[in-house]
Structure 1
């Protein structure tokens, strides 16, 4: 297997792996690329909301917010249609998401106030952080990796070709299958802290934080979906886990050695299947 290829063994074992976990939906893969996708969709172009342009008073925030399109909303749409959602520095959808996707840094003061205490005569604020000062410190810690290539592409994992490899794999699920992913991550790493759940916008949990941990040399699976503003783009009772591809690959390949083959997991799987039936969804 070349470094940039998806492992065909993973592709072959994936349906059985998902079925054993009780995951009823194909995970999404994420990759940054030089090539603009010819399929799928992206947010409409908007002016770039960089701090430099903000400081010069060049950002028309009414137009930027008027063209708002949530990153997680675009991923939700790609999930439902089983197609590609993609983003760029001009097609970011959400000015906060542009930061989390690595298209600009640091975060703009407008978004810092919007997410915390609000902007007079414009927004009451989301009140997700107690003050702009506190939020600046959090964003400095978050410090998203600059986008390494022009396009961020997210599509179903089974749509990656043999010459493509995702950086991240996003699994969307309710608690029972997530229980399996959580335990399996430690099974293959022997690291009791391999699953993290830092504060962030939902797109930050899905993309920024797992990439940030990898950049630090501390690969982590990130459990996310806590952002109240993005809950409308997740199913009822649903969360997600975003995993570095090497970790996900190890979990797929080593699953047959793990607790997933035990009677204990059979009991959990029955609950996952009951949940699937309750919500009228098809099994994987």
Structure 2
């Protein structure tokens, strides 16, 4: 059981040896499925816009967040958290989304017509991006390729929960554990993932929405015989939202439970006990 690796039989909290050795400021985050909504958990209002990073910031502060098929914040968040292909439900359909992520919906007739319909219901910032595009991919065709390559999935439960690792009950087992750290700490996590593998391509850094690198990407990796870690938060919009809230330069590092166990078992005797890593910690004051 995962709790036997990290849970002190005397202490009530689940403690990650990796997080301690790497000197993380923020406790690792557990992602799990649930048949019931956790009491007191933060949740977006049904059908209301919100970035998943708002909830991530709350969990970093020690709270619990819950999502379901009507309260995932935004369409990319619905995809990222495993609630199917929510791009189909984007205003104007998937076609308008491909223009939104690229050149903007003012570039085609259907987009302009849809914009007139949705303008009264959109925030000014969102409407600007809808019309003129986020410009994250060069063309609508490339956006469609991007969507087709995503590991879109449907989670097998009504709810997806994010909570601090120490908040897990004895019955709860995370599907994914997510670390948050600076580049020095991410470097250490990368070295640790490769430490006992015998090959050196065990971390991926896909271009994707920030929530997708926390959810569907590591969930897809969990199906592999040797799952890889997913480095995340190269999503500029997600970085803006998260930095507004935590005021720090963070990357995410999401690992399926199997890989989490592997990493925890490899701390003792590794470079994390060596002088080079300790010197880097001193230089970084963490």
- TM-score relative to the length of structure 2: 0.81
Aligned residue in 2 for 1:227: 235
Aligned residue in 2 for 1:79: 60
CA distance in 1, matches of 2:265, 2:253: 18
1:52-108 Cα distance to aligned partner (Å, 9 max, x none): xxxxxxxxxxxxxxx31001221112212x111111101111112112222122633
Asked whether 1:147 is paired with 2:155, we answer: yes
- Contact 1:176–1:271 (CA under 8 A) maintained in structure 2: no
Please list, as runs of the form range in 1=range in 2, the aligned pairs for 1:165-180 lying within 5 A after superposition.
165-180=173-188
- Bigger Cα displacement from structure 2, 15-24 vs 241-250: 15-24
Aligned-residue Cα RMSD (Å) equals: 1.8
5+ residue gaps, structure 1: 47-66, 277-284
Relative to 1, partners in 2 of residues 1:204 and 1:163: Cα closer, same or farther, differing over 3 Å? same
- Contact 2:75–2:86 (CA under 8 A) maintained in structure 1: no
Aligned residue in 2 for 1:53: none
Please list, as runs of the form range in 1=range in 2, the aligned pairs for 1:18-57 lying within 5 A after superposition.
18-46=19-47
Task: Give 1:250 deviation, angstroms.
Answer: 1.6
Task: Give 1:18 deviation, angstroms.
Answer: 2.3
Asked whether 1:68 is paired with 2:53, we answer: no
CA distance in 1, matches of 2:101, 2:79: 13
Task: Give 1:227 deviation, angstroms.
Answer: 0.6
- Contact 1:40–1:78 (CA under 8 A) maintained in structure 2: no
Task: Give 1:271 deviation, angstroms.
Answer: 2.5
Task: Give 1:270 deviation, angstroms.
Answer: 1.1
1:138-187 Cα distance to aligned partner (Å, 9 max, x none): 11111322112110100000001111110111111111221111100011
Aligned residue in 2 for 1:281: none
1:104-140 Cα distance to aligned partner (Å, 9 max, x none): 2263313332212222344211111111211111111
Match among 135, 150, 160 for residue 127 of structure 1: 135
Task: Give 1:216 deviation, angstroms.
Answer: 4.7
Task: Give 1:222 deviation, angstroms.
Answer: 0.7
CA distance in 2, matches of 1:113, 1:102: 23
Relative to 1, partners in 2 of residues 1:207 and 1:271: Cα closer, same or farther, differing over 3 Å? farther
Match among 66, 84, 106 for residue 104 of structure 1: 84
Aligned residue in 1 for 2:196: 188
CA distance in 1, matches of 2:197, 2:39: 37
Task: Give 1:231 deviation, angstroms.
Answer: 0.8
- Contact 1:73–1:230 (CA under 8 A) maintained in structure 2: no
Report the 3-state secondary structure (helix = DSSP H, G, I; strand = E; otherwise coil) of the residue aligned with 1:204.
coil
Task: Give 1:203 deviation, angstroms.
Answer: 0.6
The number of residues matched between the two structures is 249
Aligned residue in 1 for 2:11: none
5+ residue gaps, structure 2: 9-13, 89-93, 107-111, 116-129
Report the 3-state secondary structure (helix = DSSP H, G, I; strand = E; otherwise coil) of the residue aligned with 1:145.
coil
Asked whether 1:160 is paired with 2:168, we answer: yes
- Contact 2:102–2:134 (CA under 8 A) maintained in structure 1: yes
CA distance in 2, matches of 1:186, 1:30: 23
